[in-house]
Chain A
Amino acid sequence: MKRYVKPAVYLSISLAACGGAYAQQQVIGAPPESLNMKLVGSSDLQARSAYQPTIHHQGDRWIAYIGHHGGTDETPTPINPMTERAEPNGTSIVDVTDPAKPKYLAHIPGQEGKYEGGGAQMVRVCDGKTLPKADANAVYMLRTFGGEGHEIWNVANPAKPVLVSRIAGGLKDTHKNWWECDTGIAYLVSGAPDWRTRRMTQVYDLGDPANPVKIRDFGLPGQEPGSTGAVPTELHGPISTGPGGNRVYFGYGTNKGGFIQIVDREKLLSGPKEPTAENLRLPEVSRLAMSALNGAHTTFPMLGMPIAEFARDKDGKSRDIMMVVDEAILNECAEARQMVWFADVTVENRPMMISSFTVPEASGNFCQRGGRFGSHSSNESMAPVYYKKMTFIAFFNAGVRALDVRDPYHPTEVGYFIPSITAATDKRCVTVDGKERCKVAIQTNNVETDDRGYIYIVDRANTGMHILELTGPARAAAGLP
């Protein structure tokens, strides 16, 4: 524990000494900043840098699975107090049945390596009873293993996970996967060694998690092996609507040159699999190019939304909406603002951006607080409690922001929560005049919700997980009692 206390403590002392010069910076001991959201409980996640949280209802329990980035320069392999061993960051498993008292159950070590060079960032969970050919008593967790490959674990007993299978391997990189729990089809963000990009899609049938079956590789023409010329922007992640919706929405780019690709799922799965430019083009329905200044981290579909303003219109009362979240990657606003965009994709071959949302920088002097400011990701749960009503956006040093999206043409912020920093919160540095200057700030990286309406946010700067609930008008807007 002692090793990861130092950066925040030293910086807090020096910041206090600087007096008002950094008045907008967070200090240890200060309360969280919030509007219509309140803290229910928290877990320090062993001070590991966190990426994706996934909350799963297992029997009568609620379990949070949290993917981690690799360790830091100061602490490459934090100690797991449960095993008393130094373990490379991997996956934290936390019982959140009582959200006020989260109970840390297990840590599964990930790939050795620091920051994005190690860990096990991504995690998805499916019950064996919903997968077509799985053990009905099992609960399966699909996770990345650093940038090298993917793994499936049986977490039916979440305190004692058991490795089931390893997929791929020898990859250039991995990232934000999607797994259909009813069909078993998984869209794994991978970097196949012979492709010209770090991140593309490997489609697998994981209906029997013990025996993964590869269906095909997929990407953009120009990324495939043997191609020449310009290489399109790399993939960030897909979200599938399954066989019912028959669409997969891919987001490309991170903070630059992003676009949304709408893909016919059936053609993707059944079409010719040889990775030629023609075969890669075949399943594509359309693309929406974004500004070169923005990327697409999350492409979250909200299809068939009734729009109150259009209720008396003869046509177009209901719209298919795509929420696109960019990812800020540079500290202290050293890039164009990364934010949230809403596209109307009702007419699929003519998608159009209709609105946007960002946190006003001046509302917290966020460019001077330290670390990243801008969006990163949204909740991806489609549970009825919030779906098509409220979304939650991880906004790095601006915490999590609650958006009322019932009118996606005019999304409205109805709440926010910026956790307090702790002694574990890691510094974020920039180079000024050739010298490194560091600050400590919350870096809310990802967010997820559960079917009960709790909101889980996790911190990239090692502050852990905070479990929140809506209050006041925001709670009323979501229709919660």
Chain B
Amino acid sequence: MRKTVAAFAVAICMLAGVAGSDHARSQAEGWREIAWPFPRDGWPAGRAFRCGSESCGGEIEIYVRPKAGFCNCETGVTDDEEVDRVADLDMISPRFVAREPGGVIKVAGMPGRIRAYDLDMADGARHSAVGIAVSRRCDVLVAVAQGEGAASGVQRTALEFLATADMTQWMISAMGG
């Protein structure tokens, strides 16, 4: 288990490096914005994107939104259970199981945690998902990506997308600049 966690942490650090890279792509190839697919809940809708199989090796969707005032102002996102609670996984399916302990990450300069899950979909299919929760002051920004492919692929593709200049700029703006 320790090796798995260590490998996961290294992977996250590498991907976090991608997320913070000055050379990040300004546009996300293969991705297109789609309508927010979930019913209204306590927070305003966010933005949803889809990447087709031809570009991402398997269809992947990602949903991103801020949740104002939903984070411990002093400590930020500190444990995996908080990712379980806030990352909107339950909007996709209430039946999800974490694959392993999560790790720390930075997205758009904001610190938080990332965790991989298996999702049991309503149609009986099993999807991979990655939940991300990062914070700034008392607000949290959440993202959840899902796809039919391997969790590692969904995670890598999602983080590359979030690291694009357009998304980084939008996320910073959505969190109040």
Contacts and interface: CB of A to CB of B under 8 A. Distances in A.
B69 A335 contact: yes
B74 interface: yes
Interface in B61-105: 68-70, 72-75, 79, 81-82, 84-85, 89-90, 94-98
A113 B75 CA distance: 10
Interface in A215-236: 228-231, 234
A479 B89 CA distance: 53
Contacts of A256: 42-43, 70
Interface in A421-435: 431, 433-435
A306 interface: no
A387 interface: no
A197 B96 contact: no
A329 B70 CA distance: 9
A285 interface: no
Contacts of B97: 228-229
A229 B98 CA distance: 9
B123 interface: no
**Majority secondary structure, A binding face:** loop
B124 interface: no
A189 to B, nearest CB: 15
B177 to A, nearest CB: 3
A196 interface: yes
B177 A292 contact: no
Contacts of A195: 81
Contact of B72 (A117, A229, A431): A117
Most chain B beta-carbon contacts within 10 A, residue among A197, A228, A234, A292: A228
A330 interface: yes
B96 A434 contact: no
A196 B72 contact: no
B96 A330 contact: no
A116 interface: yes
Nearest to B91: A230
Nearest to A258: B42
| Complex A-B, nearest 6 residue pairs according to Cβ-Cβ distance, in ascending order | A434-B177, A117-B74, A256-B42, A230-B90, A431-B176, A292-B42
B2 interface: no
A449 to B, nearest CB: 29
A116 B74 contact: yes
B139 to A, nearest CB: 9
B22 interface: no
B73 A116 contact: yes
A163 interface: no
**Majority secondary structure, B binding face:** loop
Nearest to B85: A231
Nearest to A336: B42
Interface residues of B, number: 25
22 contacts: A70-B74, A113-B74, A115-B73, A115-B74, A117-B72, A196-B81, A196-B84, A197-B81, A228-B97, A228-B98, A229-B94, A229-B95, A229-B96, A230-B96, A231-B90, A255-B69, A256-B70, A330-B69, A334-B69, A431-B177, A434-B177, A435-B177
A238 B74 CA distance: 25
Given A117-B73, A117-B74, A257-B42, 19 more contacts: A117-B75, A172-B79, A197-B85, A198-B82, A228-B95, A228-B96, A228-B98, A229-B90, A229-B95, A229-B97, A231-B90, A234-B85, A255-B42, A256-B42, A292-B40, A293-B42, A335-B68, A434-B176, A435-B177
A229 B40 CA distance: 20
Nearest to B98: A228
A329 B90 CA distance: 23
Contact of A433 (B42, B73, B89, B177): B177
B8 to A, nearest CB: 19
A115 B82 CA distance: 20
A465 B74 CA distance: 26
A255 to B, nearest CB: 7
Most chain A beta-carbon contacts within 10 A, residue among B40, B72, B89: B72
A252 B97 CA distance: 24
B54 interface: no
Interface string A323-344: 0000001100011100000000
